[in-house]
Structure 1
Amino acid sequence: MAVVTSTPRTVPDRIEKRITRLESLLDLPPRGGASALQVGIEARQALLAARTSDDALREIRLRTKFLAKPSEVAGPTRIQHVSTSKGAALKVLLLALFELQARSPRPSGASLIPRTQLALERETPDAGMPSGERPSWINLAALPTADATRRSTHASSRRRNRLRQLHSALERLDQLGRIELKKAPGEHHRYEAFWVLDEGRANDSSLGLTRYTVPEFGRGRERREITTIPLEFFLHGWIDALNDNEIITYLILRLMAQAHPRVHATSGVFLTSGFRLSMFNLDRGFEAHRMLARYGLITTRPDPRRSARGTIHQQRTDGKGNLHQFQLNDAALSQDAPARVITCLQRYADHLTLNESRQRDRDEAEQNPPLPDTH
């Protein structure tokens, strides 16, 4: 009897599948309406518009302990536990923190009640955000539909697909102690009005559950206990377009930049392999920095002796070389993320180097200069 062996997918195959999923975020429903990405961004903007406070929200705060490995625990970090190659748990959790922090501040001394105030879905999730209506979770989390026949799929099928992904993400977060699925009075099922738990702590039956509060900045080194994420990360679709490894690497580089602002501003931050492993359990996943540079979210300063693949050919004379240094480029967050990521993935599949891709950007900018400001 012949043995059938599976053929591993090539890099272009993986890229094509990812591009297909990203394109589904931009597709218009067959029956009319807005794309999943448009609906998601409108939902996030609606949450911010409903905020009754003169103190404008500029960033989302994330407890650093969610990113770093607890000293007493071996293995994955808390964010790595949440992450999956195909699921949406990490993105749903970050959006849950966005939803909680976008709310109007509570009176001084009052703790934030961390139940989500959003329904799981509403009747027409693909039709855009009606004015004044509170968004639902199926709107807020712009989850891609992986169906290859997406352009001919009915809106109901899209909704079921996203709802299944959302249920799966919430189940995973509940199992890992990031949220508590507990049916609230008057709700239809336990997925509604879930509780968010402290992302920087272990929440389980032995240690108990710590419900979420918005972290407050301390002084001096205590400021390193919080890593901030610009709102543009959520409002321009980066949370939707990046994969989990890219999100984790990006957040760790933000943490390092905020912990060492002077070094970041002058030469760029760096991470030794030993520090990456001991602090963030980050090994092969750190290679995501190469794609972050292609998207423009970071600038990488490599040792000029290194090849495009990061190797030094003459180690006997040149030594092991210097580490890559990284600087954040927050201005790039204003780009339309899915379109930018699709473009960069296509160029990568076409074997364009980072420098060749940047030259392509410059050429296209010259061919399509921005329109003059008439105001």
Structure 2
Amino acid sequence: MAGALPGGLEKPQLDMSAPDRKASPLEGHLRADSLDSELSSGRSYGLVLRREGKTDLPARVVKVELGSLAAQRGVLDGDRILKATLTDTELVLTVERAGRVYQAKIERETPQFRPMVVQSGLIHPFPASVIEHWGPKGVLQGKTPNCWFQAALMAVAAIPQGQSMISDMIVRNPDTTYGVTFRGDSSKRISVSSSELMGRRLLNPAPWANVIEVAEHQEFPDNDEADSPARGSPKIKTGLSILTGHQSQFLRPESISTGELEKIISGCVERHVPIIIATKSPQETGGLPQVIVPNHAYAILSFDPGSQSVTLRNPLGDKVEKNMARRKARYLAQYPGSQPGPFMFFSLPDVGEEREGVRNLGDGLVRITVPALQRYARYIAWSSL
């Protein structure tokens, strides 16, 4: 669902091309006169910086102005600017956040501020066009085992109506905090501060996804609570319902025929209904080769009737597939009611490789045939918007 923002912004807001490279405090100091000249030229980019030494960089972002291109390009309060490169058309910032290095590319245009969406006196800092610009790629799971929520958020962010819904969900409070109201719990507004955004070591490239994930942590301080009967177990149902405000439907793919499952998936995709799956444990799949991440959730993005296949997106991105494909990853086999098991090594298909009806497309995308999905998926869930 890639889309263009006003002014021709087409590239991702944060370049994830080198997410694993460790940040170096000595990287690329920009001459003080160059940065001072740029920031005082009328193109402030909405950034307030605090230098860490006598040189301009490294510098800490103290504040990101509402509506600025820097905010829309994903720069957050507390980010550390390691390097700044000027071209004729843009300012490229090398940003460190939680030990990872990203790039934010900001157009050198005047004025730098975009109108924000204002409804009923409330400021919605992330217009639907910004949500569309990122789509599912804006969501990336961190260390919290909340794949059930992140997969649901990806599925909603892939749909035009869902993008508007996410935009409406977030407001900017007068005290500079964010307010998040989940449609599935609309009686309360959850406050999200800049310190919370920085303190939780979030990995989402899109700033709106970080705000929503912090709110999810507050809504479900105990991750397992989402699996309780009061919340509508299983978790993938809960993830969709808290976002959409509607009761989710779910079933076991193996309990119906391949044709019936295809009709459900194709119908959801055609009607723009968010739909996700939860995969089985290795114990549930028995002796089947492990070609997809077990005990995990994926968003369904598309269905191809010609090949009878579904395209999934992994909230962990492609890192886990790459690691498992290279036999570097270890998976601890622990399940409810069982004793801690040994480390198990899984070898998933590498990028471009297909095994057992599962092809790794790269960039966190997996194509799986419907019969294979029936073998490897524990649940499939969907919800109207």
TM (norm. structure 1) is 0.27
- Greater share of helix: 1
Q: Looking at both structures, which has the greater relative contact order when contacts are Cα pairs under 8 Å and sequence separation is at least 6? A: 1
TM (norm. structure 2) is 0.27
- Greater share of strand: 2
